[in-house]
């Protein structure tokens, strides 16, 4: 039996696609926003002893979207839901999973505790920044990936996969194996720990005519376009970028459109506002993967 499915306000179109695939209606919620920005959440349907799913990405504004998610989970549990699975396609604060400098909070650890305290019984998410993140949870975490979707869109002829940094080697090896051990190379970078600025310095490996950068997310777009420029300087005739999460902070659309990258392929893990869409952008849906996991 398919559980009741609810959606926060962060990515309702994705939730609607999932419901369409599962042939169920999206269960209603009342979400009222007060003049000071506070939210009140009310469950309309009867959920006593029922399994429930909440779909809510925690992208910009991450804090607001998390608070709304906490309230939805709490409302469902207080209404007697047997279980509440939180589908968080993009897990906000995931890059703050450890201390970089003395005195810092481990923000992701706080978020994890809040999700558990609110009453989430399971988490479903996509392409986390590091594979150790599920270890922070005391509840089951299903870590899905958009890499098979990206692999299906890659023509191997004359192409090489590119990891945008050393941290992405595991990801690039997985998609390489999906494509019959397709060759790959890596962009080597230097990061200034004080300013956070990153500089692409060299390419480790052979560059083919078509270079396909595969990453977990694109935020400002500056790092991936810097790598693309270096690839062009090292012999690539075309550079394509693929990333699961289109975080797209302010100005990212222009940075990517004006870059040497010919196409940017992302998923709908985050709803992309119209003013953040651009000519080179292509969006593929993860709704099918979510629907399959919910039915499993």
Catalytic residue among 4, 17, 77, 189: 189
Report the distance separating Cα 92 and Cα 230, nearest Å. Answer: 29
Strand 210-218 relative to strand 159-163: parallel, antiparallel, unpaired?
parallel
Residue 225: is it exposed, middle or buried by C-beta count within 10 angstroms (0-12/13-18/19+)? buried
For every residue of 222-286, DSSP letters joined together read: HHHHHHHHHHHHTT-SEEEEEEEEE---TTHHHHHHTSS-SEEEEESSSPPPGGG--TTEEEE--
CB atoms < 10 A from the CB of 44, how many?
A: 11
Residue 112 region by backbone torsions, left for phi larger than 0, else alpha for psi between -120 and 50, else beta: alpha
Q: Does the annotation mark 189 as catalytic?
A: yes
CA-based nearest residue to 215, from 247, 192, 249: 247
Catalytic residues, which ones? 189
């Amino acid at each position: 039996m398919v559980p009741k499915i609810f959606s926060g306000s962060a990515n309702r179109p994705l939730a609607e696609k999932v419901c369409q695939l599962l042939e169920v209606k999206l269960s209603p919620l009342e979400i009222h926003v007060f003049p000071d920005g506070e939210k009140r959440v009310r469950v309309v349907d009867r959920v006593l002893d029922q399994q429930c799913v909440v779909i809510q990405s925690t992208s910009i504004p991450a804090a607001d979207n998390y608070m709304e998610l906490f309230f939805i989970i709490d409302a469902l549990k207080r209404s007697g839901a047997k279980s509440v699975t939180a589908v968080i396609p993009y897990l906000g604060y995931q890059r703050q999973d450890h201390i970089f400098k003395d005195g810092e909070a481990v923000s992701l650890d706080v978020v994890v505790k809040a999700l558990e305290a609110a009453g989430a019984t399971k988490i479903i998410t996509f392409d986390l920044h590091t594979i150790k993140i599920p270890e922070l949870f005391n509840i089951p975490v299903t870590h899905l990936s958009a890499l098979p979707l990206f692999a299906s869109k890659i023509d191997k002829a004359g192409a090489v996969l590119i990891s945008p940094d050393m941290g992405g080697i595991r990801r690039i090896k997985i998609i390489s194996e999906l494509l019959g051990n397709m060759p790959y190379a890596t962009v080597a970078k230097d990061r200034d720990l004080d300013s956070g600025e990153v500089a692409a310095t060299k390419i480790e490996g052979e560059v083919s005519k078509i270079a396909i950068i595969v990453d977990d997310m694109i935020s400002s777009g500056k790092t991936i376009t810097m790598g693309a420029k270096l690839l062009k300087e090292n012999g690539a005739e075309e550079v394509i970028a693929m990333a699961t999460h289109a975080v797209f902070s302010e100005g990212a659309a222009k940075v990517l459109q004006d870059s040497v990258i010919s196409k940017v392929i992302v998923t709908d893990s985050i709803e992309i506002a119209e003013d953040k869409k651009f000519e080179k952008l292509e969006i593929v849906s993860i709704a099918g993967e979510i629907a399959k996991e919910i039915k499993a």
